[in-house]
Structure 1
Amino acid sequence: MRIGTTLTNYIIQNQRHIEGATGEFTGLLNDIAVACKKIADLVNKGALVNVLGATDSRNVQGETQKKLDVISNELMIEALRYNGHIAALASEEMDSVYHLPANAPRGKYLLLCDPLDGSSNIDVNVSVGTIFSILKAPDGVTNPSEKDFLRPGTEQVAAGYCLYGPSTMLVLTTGHGVSMFTLDRDFGEFLLTREQVEIPVDTGEFAINMSYQRFWDQPITQYIEECLQGADGPRQKNFNMRWVASMVAEVHRILTRGGVFLYPCHSQLRAAGKAGKLRLLYEANPMAYIVEQAGGAASTGLERILEVNPEEIHQRVPVILGARNEVRRVDELHRSEAG
């Protein structure tokens, strides 16, 4: 595909190779792109339009919602509910599935999204983003329920994210590699700027929140210790550490220059009754799909993320993703501990 191709033309050209394609998928991606452009505009303006700061509400996970969390969720719903491209939507910011209005046309897709990932960074002007995952809606179901969303990540039709940084970028996979699009603000279109993204199998860079070190399980402790020992340790090379506290930014860095990202479960999370920090359906699955399509790997430490069978829509899992050989090493340490 020619660099500079618009997102719409890119999808249309790819759909020509799919038997029975109707254009509905192209329409859905355009809906998502419209919502992302609106969110990007608000993120860019920030305090100028009074969207910074927290609300008085909490989401289903018990987290205080930022103003832009709520607004971004509303913008995603607004862009999708009457266009006939989805049958229902599930969001990290809502307790349950969002059902379309009775008079709205139904489409053949389900959308799962984290409307504003990394929202703790909003007030300090650090990159945030939107993550989305697309599934096929079950045939003949006009009002999908939660159980219709509970499918492993291997069943995703597409996944992507939009990064709101110095430039706004939309990263997408439909199961045939990963492509990156950059928003040209002069005429409001996402333009193709990179195709067939590949993550190097080896890396000298890891990302983890070191403040939880005292709570880690032994496999994570050992892995990070190996990295920190650098050229003098068993890995015989030096590692750099990064941490942005925005999964979109972390994954984008890995796609751009390599690396590995770890958000493991630990004793403090377990004490709170949680199996991990990141949500399987809204964060782990779409990012795992993207990373695998770029030649990387994504694991909970014990199993491939895309093969986890979800039990509820806000389920959490440990996440280790990025350079294939590093993810494999973390998996080896977990299996060794498990015996």
Structure 2
Amino acid sequence: MVVKAYGAYAADKPLEPIDIERRAVGAQDVQIAIAYCGVCHSDLHQVRSEWGGTRYPCVPGHEIVGHVTAIGSEVSRFKVGDTVGVGCMVDSCQHCSPCDEGLEQYCANGFVATYNGPTQHAPGHTLGGYAQSIVVRDKFVLKISHPAEQLAAVAPLLCAGITTYSPLRHWNAGPGKKVGIVGIGGLGHMGVKLASAMGAHVVAFTTSESKRQDALDLGADEVIISRDSAQMAAHANSFDFILNTVAASHNLDAFTSLLKRDGTMCLVGVPEHPHPSPNVGVLIFGRKSIAGSLIGGIAETQEMLDFCAEKGITAEVEMIPMQDIESAYDRMQKSDVKYRFVIDNATLANS
């Protein structure tokens, strides 16, 4: 099936209207008409090959919300008309230890990304959610139970939501825990919302005084201006867990020194240039840890969506037509969005 999409033919070319071919619906497949697709910073990195290895044409998009339009003969979990989502993965080997444990994001043989991943179908790599529809293996399709009027704001949960939820759950954020969230952007604003909903005492770190009230409005109990050494020093050795969402190179010691003994700081942003080497003494003398986390498995992503539906949690979004994607990328690079762009995929009909 040929559908309209937006993609780029080279790293130095803008995203433009293109026609792409979606595979026929197989026995275990679900066909989805895409209503909304979130815009992730990794979309920009990939389409401009800033991480290298991008295959072209590149059609980004891995924060997908839509409705089922067809199912394969062996599909029982979904029916036509269901509201569903697709995140960062559309397949994995399904037979390694991580896959067996429901941790497909750590598949020993490499999960298949929603776009730019290897596939036997034309053009030889996956094409993402900046398109009218998509066909996905049923095991990688998620049920969405939020009300219809919230669906655009649900889309970023498929990446920004699970990227922050998974480490918060893994390190047991909850009542009695002091949790820091570094950075109040697309990821960080979800981290604040989720940690607050889990019952933790949430402290937001930002470099900008102008974001103080925003962070409080999102659910933070306290806000620290990280450039203020006195504010930082006042919280030394007091955090159980810090979720660091900043994807720019910075001094990690400023935050590890705030951890309690046995505390952990988890990184979820990949900087263009490496962080300065941390002070090992800070870690050794407090048995502190610096860790990392990658999105979440399918079961945990479903858990996150159900948790957010129960708690009424969505992302803070700005809707754009597909035709404004290049200007959205420019604004995203300047952090000029609160807090996530979401594409109205119905506008692709005008391409």
**TM superposition score normalised by structure 1:** 0.26
Higher RCO structure (Cα 8 Å, ≥6 apart): 2
Q: Which structure carries more helix by proportion?
A: 1
TM-score w.r.t. structure 2 length? 0.26
